[in-house]
Structure 1
Amino acid sequence: MSSIEARLTDLGVTLPTPAAPAANYVPFVRSGSLLFVSGQIPVGPSGIQFVGKLGLDTDVETGRAAAKLCAINLIAQVRAAIGDLDGLVRVVKLTGFVNSAADFGDQPKVVNGASDFLVEVFGDKGRHARSAVGVAGLPFGVAVEIEGIFEVA
């Protein structure tokens, strides 16, 4: 077991089998040492979770939980791409899309659910550049979608 997998176990996290794409795209693309992972939505063991619009029917803490689940799914895609998570050199960048009411402005607080979790799992290798963007809607009505760029060995 890799040290990252052991860390996930210590945190009580079991990585899922990555979801198959829902349209005409691939879940990840590797170009040299960079791995681009397509947007991940909050899909858990029982299916899609955390449907709603931040600032309307969903609060920041629920949004943070949705973002954390997106990060878990990002890590699962990284593992599918490279096999051993110890081959991750660093998390380079996240882009978080937050399903937001027109007057909602706490997108960064929501996306912190993913950012904080990645730092908890990977330590300094998990620190990354980031964008947190409010959008009018997301696939399946989910609260958050997050894509990532990773440097891998």
Structure 2
Amino acid sequence: MSTIETRLAELGVTLPDAPAPAANYVPFVIVGNLVHISGQISANAGGQIKGRLGDSMSVEQGAEAAKACAISLLAQLKKAVGGDFSRVVRAVKLVGFVNSTPEFTDQPKVINGASDFMVAALGDAGRHARSAVSAASLPFGVAVEIEGIFEIK
């Protein structure tokens, strides 16, 4: 069991199967030693996590939705490395989109749900550059979508 898998087990997280693309794109592209993972929408075993920050969702609920995106990112990463998490060097960058009202300004607090999870799962290798921006709407009405770039060996 890799260190990442051990940490996930300690966190009580079982990675789902990597979600299939919802349209004409691929879930990830490997270029050199970087894995570029397409945006993962907020969803868990109960289905899509929908809502709008500043309206129907709290920051805490948004952070949980962002964590769900991070779990999907790791599921895609696991698929990209053929199940061998020992190939993962680090998280490079996350770009988070938050379905929010024009007045809502806590997008960084929402995306912290993903950032904090990455550090919990990957240790220091989970520290990454990041953007956290508002979106007027997101696909299917989900609360959060996050894409990521990871370095592998």
TM-score normalised by length of structure 2: 0.97
Paired residues for 1:43-62 under 5 Å: 43-48=43-48, 50-62=49-61
Is 1:123 paired with 2:119? no
Superimposed CA distance per residue, residues 63-82 of structure 1 (whole angstroms, 9 cap, x where no aligned partner): 00000000000000000000
Q: In 1, distance between residues paired with 2:112 and 2:88?
A: 21
Q: In 2, distance between residues paired with 1:25 and 1:58?
A: 30
Unaligned residue ranges in structure 2 (runs of 5+): none
Report the alpha carbon displacement of residue 47 of structure 1 after superposing the two structures with TM.
Answer: 2.1
Report the alpha carbon displacement of residue 25 of structure 1 after superposing the two structures with TM.
Answer: 0.2
Could you list the structure 1 runs, at least 4 aligned residues long, displaced by more than 2 angstroms after superposition.
none
The one-letter amino acid of 1:67's match is A
The aligned counterpart of 1:38 is 38
Q: In 1, distance between residues paired with 2:46 and 2:113?
A: 20
The one-letter amino acid of 1:94's match is L
Report the alpha carbon displacement of residue 41 of structure 1 after superposing the two structures with TM.
Answer: 0.9
Q: In 2, distance between residues paired with 1:2 and 1:123?
A: 13
The one-letter amino acid of 2:124's match is D
Q: In 2, distance between residues paired with 1:89 and 1:133?
A: 26
Is 1:138 paired with 2:138? yes
Q: In 2, distance between residues paired with 1:84 and 1:126?
A: 17
TM-score normalised by length of structure 1: 0.97
Alignment partner of 1:109: what SS? helix
Count of aligned residue pairs for this structure pair: 152
Q: In 2, distance between residues paired with 1:17 and 1:46?
A: 14
Paired residues for 1:30-109 under 5 Å: 30-48=30-48, 50-82=49-81, 83-109=83-109
Report the alpha carbon displacement of residue 84 of structure 1 after superposing the two structures with TM.
Answer: 1.1
Report the alpha carbon displacement of residue 35 of structure 1 after superposing the two structures with TM.
Answer: 0.3
Identity rate, percent: 62
The one-letter amino acid of 2:2's match is S
Q: In 2, distance between residues paired with 1:84 and 1:7?
A: 15
Report the alpha carbon displacement of residue 39 of structure 1 after superposing the two structures with TM.
Answer: 0.3
Superimposed CA distance per residue, residues 43-102 of structure 1 (whole angstroms, 9 cap, x where no aligned partner): 212321x21110011110000000000000000000000021121101000000000101
Alignment partner of 1:58: what SS? coil
Unaligned residue ranges in structure 1 (runs of 5+): none
